[in-house]
Amino acid sequence: MKRLALLLLLALIQSASAAERPNILFIFSDDHAMNAIGAYGSKAAKTPNLDRLAKEGMLFRHCLVTNSICGPSRATVLTGKYNHLNGFPDNSSFFDNTQQTYPKLLQKAGYQTCVIGKWHLESEPTGFDHWKVLPGQGSYYNPDFLTPQGKERIEGYATDVITDEALKWLKEGRDQSKPFMLCYWHKAPHREWNPGPQELGLYDNKTIPEPATLFDDYNGRASPAREQQMSIDKDMTINSDLKMPWQNGDGEEPKFGGRKGWYNRMTDAQRAIWDAHYNPINEAFRKANLQGKELVRWKYQQYMKDYLSCVAGVDRNVGRVLEYLKESGLDKNTIVVYSADQGFYLGEHGWFDKRWMYEESLHTPLIVRWPGVVKPGTENKNLVSTLDFAETFLEAAGVASPKDMQGRSMVPLLKGETVPDWRAAHYYHYYEYPQPHHVAPHYGVRSETGYKLIHYYLTDEWELFDLNKDPAELKSLYTDNDYATIRESLMSQMKELQVKYQATNPTAPPPKVSTRPLNPGKGKTKGKAKE
């Protein structure tokens, strides 16, 4: 009899927990290219924890951003809207924090909400029960954080510190009777790709394979590809990006920020580890006196080693959080999402940075583990978007999406369902110009069938790519007669999407808040966006 009662009780508890709303752990890193994740096929990147997450979840091959740059991408994720509607088209914007966001809706529905780490939206976070965010870009070493109580500096390496703070909130900070949404948002692997003490040297004695387009000549494309300022050759700096102390002969001495800024910020102990790693590399480099292609090759290797070391720091820390979820039993009812604000160039076209509608920066990683819903080890090839995140989180939490959000919930895709009317083409618009990096503003569409149309509207130039035949996007077919039908069909898809997204006047400057008229709380988030 007793046994029966016990069994009944167990069954009751189980059905109650099955009906419980899931927690959401939203891991978002900064500038993490798909090509730097093992699960996406990288041969060089060491990402065992992300790879395991992919094995236990679903990996999306085509998660596309709406504007490949930090603040705008985050604004879209929060609002489920394009930048011309959420007022944040470029990094010098200021987020109207009175507008509707998914964290506010989840909070209203009884979720505990929290954001820790990179924010870059300049106004104070709203809709969060707890927040602790980096000012602007934040620092890799001994980062400052903005909190409702003011500024706080925490000693350590940003990726580790952000994780410590996230774990602290998970363990002690939240109301445990409620489900949670934790935005655990990393600074790494953003420029200048400063690795943490634990990862320095991880790629010593390794040679990272070069992309086929490292020495792209930009023929076959419109003028913007030639006129950018994001090339490893011309724009990657020795004294900051490549960690080299300035010396006579390097050109003008950098006056502020850059290496000086972050190097002086380190503690003596951190600096000793740093110097032990970089001094021999720097000496060898000075001695070698490389020129031309050899110099580009060296810069590429050093860039990639730093970048991948930053990625490895993110991966190790993701592992710490996943371990805690497991140990606490939270893993059973927690959706884990890994993504980044955009992709990044890892030497493709000779570049670093992002911004373009070309594949490497248009795509961003997306891996989702959702026990009992997502079949482990699966892949999805639909054109999903960061525009869809808000509505996906809301549906997962059982909250209805407001009509004015512009994405679509990915929950059916996560359940493995085929959705015949999923988007056939994705709309994109990049605005920030001319600095940094001098990438001409453009908008366009990328179709599910592998065609892409881009309009650089300042010079009225167009590009059309056939990704099936030219995956590296080296030859525009815009004026090729064989592609006339495809061009017309892309053009009409683009116009339809502009109507759908209320973007029918794409060349007009989008509404943007660039000052601070919004009553941002106690005004702790000082200053304009520092890029």
Find the shortest distance in angstroms from Cβ 339 to Ca ion. Answer: 12
Q: Which helix (H) or strand (E) holds 465?
A: strand 461-466
Residue 31 touches ligand SGN, criterion: CB under 6 A: yes
Q: Locate tokens 């995956």: which residue?
A: 471
Tell me which of 22, 25, 27, 30 binds Ca ion, using CB under 5 A: 30
Q: How many residues bind Ca ion (CB under 5 A)?
A: 4
Find the shortest distance in angstroms from Cβ 73 to Ca ion. Answer: 7
Residue 31 touches Ca ion, criterion: CB under 5 A: yes
Find the shortest distance in angstroms from Cβ 205 to ligand SGN. Answer: 27
Q: Which 106-165 residues touch ligand SGN, going by CB under 6 A? A: 120, 137
Q: Which residue is nearest to ligand SGN (CB)?
A: 70
Residue 437 touches ligand SGN, criterion: CB under 6 A: yes
Of 107-115, 189-197, 500-508, 514-522, the window that binds ligand SGN (rule: CB under 6 A) is: 189-197
Q: Which 61-80 residues touch Ca ion, going by CB under 5 A? A: 70
Q: How many residues bind ligand SGN (CB under 6 A)?
A: 14
Instruction: Give the largest CA-CA distance in the chain.
Output: 88
Choose the contact partner of 437 out of ligand SGN, Ca ion, none; CB within 5 to 8 A by kind. Answer: ligand SGN
Find the shortest distance in angstroms from Cβ 148 to Ca ion. Answer: 25
Question: Would you state the structure tokens that stand for residue 71, as one six-digit string?
Answer: 């603040």
Find the shortest distance in angstroms from Cβ 65 to ligand SGN. Answer: 11
Tell me which of 424, 436, 438, 514 binds ligand SGN, using CB under 6 A: 436
> Could you give the angle at the alpha carbon of 106 between the alpha carbons of 101 and 110, nearest 5°?
150
Tell me which of 96, 199, 331, 353 binds ligand SGN, using CB under 6 A: 353
Residue 439 touches Ca ion, criterion: CB under 5 A: no
Residue number, 114 or 121, with CB nearest to ligand SGN:
121
Question: Would you state the structure tokens that stand for residue 363, as one six-digit string?
Answer: 């795509």
Q: Which helix (H) or strand (E) holds 286?
A: helix 268-288
Of 185-193, 281-289, 307-315, 452-460, the window that binds ligand SGN (rule: CB under 6 A) is: 185-193
Question: Binding marks (x or -) toward Ca ion, 336..355, rule CB under 5 A?
Answer: -----x--------------
Within 10 Å of residue 268's Cβ, how many Cβ atoms?
6
Task: Report the alpha-carbon distance of residue 39 to residue 379 in Å, rounded.
Answer: 11
- Which residues fall within 8 angstroms of residue 397, CB to CB, at 6 or more apart? 21, 22, 24, 106, 109, 111, 179, 181
Q: Which 283-342 residues touch ligand SGN, going by CB under 6 A? A: none
Question: Would you state the structure tokens that stand for residue 62, as one six-digit string?
Answer: 């085509």
Of 29-37, 259-267, 307-315, 459-467, the window that binds Ca ion (rule: CB under 5 A) is: 29-37
Task: Report the alpha-carbon distance of residue 526 to residue 269 in Å, rounded.
Answer: 31
Q: Which 66-95 residues touch ligand SGN, going by CB under 6 A? A: 69-70, 91
- Which residues fall within 8 angstroms of residue 116, CB to CB, at 6 or more apart? 131, 132, 133, 162, 165, 166, 169, 182, 183, 184, 185
Residue number, 126 or 361, with CB nearest to Ca ion:
361
Question: Would you state the structure tokens that stand for residue 437, as one six-digit string?
Answer: 């990096």
C-alpha closest to that of 206 among 310, 300, 72: 300
Amino acid occupying residue 130: H
Of 31-39, 136-144, 402-410, 420-428, the window that binds Ca ion (rule: CB under 5 A) is: 31-39
**Cα 418 from chain centroid (whole Å):** 27
Task: Report the alpha-carbon distance of residue 490 to residue 467 in Å, rounded.
Answer: 14
Choose the contact partner of 423 out of ligand SGN, Ca ion, none; CB within 5 to 8 A by kind. Answer: none
Whole-number Cα distances in Å, 20 to 2, 174, 490: 27, 17, 44
Task: Report the alpha-carbon distance of residue 207 to residue 301 in Å, rounded.
Answer: 7
Residue 29 touches ligand SGN, criterion: CB under 6 A: no
Of 174-182, 190-198, 293-301, 421-429, the window that binds ligand SGN (rule: CB under 6 A) is: 190-198
Q: Determine contact, residues 371/330, Cβ cutoff 8 Å.
A: no
Question: Binding marks (x or -) toward ligand SGN, 512..531, rule CB under 6 A?
Answer: -------------------x
Helices in 129-206 by DSSP H: which ranges?
Answer: 158-168
Residue number, 242 or 394, with CB nearest to ligand SGN:
242
Task: Report the alpha-carbon distance of residue 250 to residue 384 in Å, rounded.
Answer: 45
Residue 190 touches ligand SGN, criterion: CB under 6 A: yes
C-alpha closest to that of 492 among 424, 431, 442: 424
Task: Report the alpha-carbon distance of residue 152 to residue 146 in Å, rounded.
Answer: 7
Find the shortest distance in angstroms from Cβ 95 to ligand SGN. Answer: 14
Residue 254 touches ligand SGN, criterion: CB under 6 A: no
Pairing of strands 378-380, 58-60: parallel
Task: Report the alpha-carbon distance of residue 27 to residue 340 in Å, rounded.
Answer: 8
Find the shortest distance in angstroms from Cβ 192 to ligand SGN. Answer: 5
Q: Which 359-398 residues touch ligand SGN, going by CB under 6 A? A: none
Residue ranges in contact with Ca ion by CB under 5 A: 30-31, 70, 341
Residue ranges in contact with ligand SGN by CB under 6 A: 30-31, 69-70, 91, 120, 137, 190-192, 353, 436-437, 531
